Structure 1
Amino acid sequence: MKRFIIAALALTMFAACKNEASEKPVKNESEKAQKLAPINDSILGQSVIYEANIRQYSPEGTFNEFTKDIPQLKELGVKVIWLMPVYPISSVKRKAADGRFAEEIEDPKEREKILGSYYAISDYTGINPEFGTLQDFQKLVKTAHENDIYVILDWVANHTGWDHIWIKEHPEFYTKNEAGEIIDPINPETGESWGWTDVADLSYDNKELWDEMRKEMRYWVEEQNIDGFRCDVAGEVPTEFWESAVKEIKQVKPIFMLAESEDKDLFEEAFDMGYNWEGHHILNAIAQGEQNAKDLSDYMEKIDTTYQEDDYLMNFVTNHDENSWNGTLNERMGDAAEVMTALTFTLPGMPLIYSGQEYDMQKRLRFFEKDTINHQRGKFWPILSKLGSLKNESPALDGSKTEADFLEIKNLAQNTIFSFKRKKNNEEVIFIGNLSGKDKEFKINLNGEFIDYMNNEKVFVIEENQKLLFSPWEYKILINR
């Protein structure tokens, strides 16, 4: 990451399954003719990433229904779509919300409702018939590319479902207990199960598994022209495997790699971007009154010394895990939701939008069963659209390997007011936010006339020694007039 710069101011202040699998040798010819520019750091630096939950996105829960809406995602500044797992889900040990397996549920109507976890995969190169066909998937990718949007797939290399073909044909690919039985994943720190009983743990001690897994990943890039991967629990898989896989796949074309991890070692050769989990938890804690603006400032200084200059993280206020297990954006952040969202777009890194966030989603989506998102535009669509446009258009918000400088503006209210400047070339974006639930009066060593970007581009004047009064959770994004 770019050096964290403290501006010293005067004030010292992101079996249908098998039929689909049989189609995998088919080349997607229309995709090969697509002229979308190869994904690169320049594009990623000013991108918004969108996490698509196909099952819950529409009442139909299909690729085709999501594909219809791809053009409008451009309004939100989206340049990368991350598809949650699209592969067939294991029917063996298919889990329900109450922890039971579907086969344990006697009522057939209730049993049919259990669709299982997207992350219990039975075939890495198949398509979940719940979502449609391989041709439907190809249409989605084609439509995204026609709209200058890249597509990455969720990749689950740590474990498979219990009816994956490897269970029978390659049991040596799996971790076993002392009795020689295949087991579910174990927490290495405690030696106990994570509780992911619907999946079987893969053992990367077996180098033949490395070959097979690389082959499965390469298929999607080489045959279906996808643009990279978001890799589930990436830190639980050997870094050396990821490095070998990326090296091989990049022989096909450039790809974008996102790790569900903050492990800086993964960024050496394998991954472009990781999760900003710690930053996300700080934003949650500030919204809940447990931490403050000074804690966020300290964290920004910490990551500057932890990561290398070309490492960057995905900023987010919600995602599929947070929404389903920890609560909606409103539940966790309440009145602070807008200012925290604005921070994810203006801080160094890439902002994430999760399916439904753009529609002010006020419910926790079911994870193992069918649910749906209300597509009624409300408060957040215009906010995300405005923020997305600025992210796309201003070099000062470059957030990737060539990211713009981040200069914190100190102030006497540092426990409450968080203020900083992003700068690249001759472009500047200034953020000033009250990260508290109380009115706050303060001074800041800025003066001049600025465009108040979020407030219909009205002029915002700051005079020397002027006291500013911000309401609870109020923020300003200022650009040079």
Structure 2
Amino acid sequence: MPSTRFSPAQYSHVKHPQWSRDAAIYQVNTRHFSAEGDFKGVQRDLPRIKSLGVDIIWLMPIHPIGEVARKGTLGSPYAVKDYLAINPEFGSHEDLHSLIAAVHDLDMKVIIDWVANHSAWDNPLTQSHPQWYARNHRGEFRPSPWWDWSDIIEFDYSHADLREYMIEAMCYWVDEFDIDGFRCDVAGYVPNDFWRQARTELEKLKPVFMLAEWEARDMHEYAFDMTYAWSWNEIMHGIAHGKLSLDKLRKYYSWNERAWPKQAYRMTFVSNNDKNAWDGTQFEQFGDCLDNAIVLSSLGEGMPLIHNGQEAGESKRLQFFECDPIEWQAHYIGDLYRQLLDLRKRFTALHNGEFGATMLQVNTDHADKVFAFVRRNGEHAVLVILNFTDMMLKVEMQADLIAGDWQEQFLLSATHQSGAGQLCKIDQPMSLDAWKARVFIQQTPWV
């Protein structure tokens, strides 16, 4: 009888909420989302967000913003003045209750941004508990954690009573408003054992979903369902601008498969609040490669994020410290996301983490120009081929992974192509348009 004495324990001890297995996430900056810049403006548009295939609404910080050392006119939402209050610009307690109830009525979940690492200079905790704050070499409050973050000061998590306060504050929002979890700002600058403590207490109230704004595998051990795939975004950006080779992308997926727990969710994103505000719109970031980036973020390993406004063509860099409403319009990118998220839900091989299938690389005769992979389980297979050049290619692929009959899913684009093709074999050289992807489905995959 084989010994189990040295059997390794499961690396990740986090139990994901069942509803997260095929989920996609949508980031809401309440200030920018509507002309009113409030919760009601978000609530009014929930059915449209739902229609994209979104399951999780992430609300950026909802708390009052500090006035001391404020940046711009309205300040940064990450300069929290009161962890137990609501920014009056966004509405009342009743307005937030109404928004969360409407999210739940549409069978979606809502997480809120939690800023545990630092607060505003004029947070009352600076007076009631000044010992909770980190100090610089002169004994003064320390701006955190970057030298240009002058509007916030850092906490010192060596204090047990600070941890207790912060966890009780998090529990308040779950208990009082029935939120479903947290996106945790600069989570790696807060001790990981604090997040473990927090999740343990939160789970006593309800199953929660925890997203870390960080990229480290140990965050998944006890506390977090999902971490940011920052390196995925950086590699895709480098490829789009001709600075990195496709081998960098292959190394990312090898690293993701071998060095990270299979249970870990990685958030793959084309844009977010930081990228849009400081680095540029999705068009500035990816240019002709944008559609490929969206396809790969949605069909490759990882949970896709939609940053509010992407689906409307994200026409500008939103001013982070000002009121700068999104310019909403119908756009093919919204239709593309809608199609891709529908595929993710219909085909279980595309699900998140351990619920989905690993990506199997399909070798081609254009390894420096084409990235191709299959994700398959006992029910079906999904084949994705992406051309990362500005020329049309004829591509021959690895035979054993593409055997059998496939049905192409014609991707929506600026030309609004849609629909599915007839069953076909793809064992002959295939045409790939410049900067385009082709996606095929096999209902009973060949083994």
Contact 1:64 1:140 in 2 (8 A): yes
Structure-2 separation of matches of 1:178 and 1:353: 41
Q: Partners in 1 of 2:357 and 2:273 — Cα distance?
A: 29
Q: Give the residue type in structure 1 aligned to 2:239.
A: I
Match of 1:111 in 2: none
Cα deviation for residue 42 of structure 1 reads 3.5
Q: 1:292–1:436: 8 Å Cα contact kept in structure 2?
A: no
1:293, distance to aligned residue in structure 2 (A): 2.4
Q: Is 1:116 matched with 2:75?
A: yes
The sequence identity of aligned pairs, in percent, is 37
Give the match for residue 177 of structure 1: 136
Aligned to 2:422: 459
Is the Cα–Cα contact under 8 Å of residues 28 and 307 in structure 2 kept in the other structure? yes
For 2:41 and 2:105, the matched residues in 1 are separated by 17
Say which SS state the counterpart of residue 300 (structure 1) adopts: helix
Residues 17, 207 of structure 2: 8 Å contact kept:
no
CA distance in 2, matches of 1:154, 1:437: 39
Are 1:386 and 2:339 matched, yes or no? yes
2:121 aligned with 1:156: no
Q: Distance in 2 between matches of 1:158 and 1:463?
A: 52
- Tell me the distance in 2 between the aligned counterparts of 1:85 and 1:323: 17
Pick one of 189, 210, 216 that aligns with 2:169: 216
Q: Report the count of equivalent residues.
A: 419
1:67-115: CA deviation from partner (whole Å, max 9, x where unpaired)? 011122121110000000010000111112xxxxxxxxxxxxxxxxx00
Structure 1: tracts of 5 or more residues without a match: 1-38, 97-113, 187-192
1:335-354 alignment, distance < 5 Å: 335-354=288-307
Q: Deviations over 1:430-466 (max 9, x none)?
A: 10110222222220123544222124112363443x2
Shift of 1:162: 0.9
Distance in 1 between the 2:125 and 2:202 partners?
22
Out of 30, 34, 38, the residue aligned to residue 58 of structure 1 is: 34
The equivalent position to 2:209 in structure 1, one of 248, 256, 259, is 256
SS of residue in 2 equivalent to 1:223 = helix
AA at the equivalent of 2:151: D
Of 237, 248, 270, which aligns to 1:317?
Answer: 270
TM-superposed deviation, 1:361: 1.1
Give yes or no for contact 2:63–2:80 (8 Å, CA) kept in 1: yes
Amino acid at match of 1:458: G
Please report how far the alpha carbon of residue 40 of structure 1 lies from its aligned counterpart in structure 2 after TM superposition. 4.7
TM-score using structure 2 length: 0.91
| Contiguous gaps of at least 5 residues in structure 2 | 1-14, 412-417
- Alpha-carbon displacement from aligned partner over 1:175-227 (angstroms, at most 9, x marks no partner): 112332112114xxxxxx53100001111111110010001100001111000
Q: 1:107 is matched with which residue? A: none
Q: What one-letter code is carried by the residue in structure 2 that aligns with 1:178?
A: H
SS in 1 for 2:355: coil
Runs of 4+ residues deviating >4 angstroms: none
Q: Give the equivalent residue in structure 2 for 1:14.
A: none
User: Quick one: which amino acid aligns to residue 205 of structure 1?
Assistant: S
SS in 2 for 1:396: helix
> Which one of the candidate residues 450, 455, 459 is aligned to 2:406?
450
Measure the CA separation in 2 of the matches of 1:365 and 1:309: 35
Separation in structure 2 between the aligned mates of residue 394 and residue 124 of structure 1, nearest angstrom: 41
What is the deviation of 1:413? 1.1
Match of 2:319 among 366, 371, 379: 366
Aligned partner letter, 2:69: K
Aligned equivalents of 1:74 and 1:401: distance in 2? 25
* Partner SS for 1:51: strand
Residue number in structure 2 paired with 1:140 = 99
What secondary structure sits across from 1:78 in the alignment? coil
Correspondence for 1:328 among 281, 287, 292:
281
Structure 1 position 427, deviation (Å) = 1.9
**8 A Cα contact 1:89 1:122, kept in partner:** yes
Q: Which amino acid aligns with 1:352?
A: L
Q: Are 2:29 and 1:70 aligned?
A: no
Task: Tell me the equivalent position of 1:476.
Answer: 438
**How big is the shift at 1:469?**
2.3
Which of 172, 177, 201 lines up with 2:154 in the alignment? 201
Partners of 1:392 and 1:138 lie apart in 2 by 29
User: Is the Cα–Cα contact under 8 Å of residues 41 and 401 in structure 1 kept in the other structure?
Assistant: no
**Separation in structure 1 between the aligned mates of residue 141 and residue 219 of structure 2, nearest angstrom:** 28
Which protein has greater RCO, CA pairs closer than 8 Å, 6+ apart?
1
Task: Indicate which of 13, 23, 29 corresponds to 1:47.
Answer: 23
Instruction: Indicate if the aligned counterparts of 2:183 and 2:210 stay in contact, CA closer than 8 A.
Output: yes
CA distance in 1, matches of 2:426, 2:289: 28
Query: 1:452, 1:362 → 2: CA distance?
Result: 31
Measured after TM superposition, the shift of residue 233 of structure 1 is 0.3
Structure 1 residues 361, 460: closer, same or farther in 2, change over 3 A? Answer: farther
Cα distance between partner residues in 1 of 2:117 and 2:71: 18
Shift of 1:339: 1.2
Read off the aligned partner of 2:286 and give its amino acid letter.
M
- The code of the aligned residue for 1:89 comes to I
237, 244, 252: which one pairs with 1:299? 252
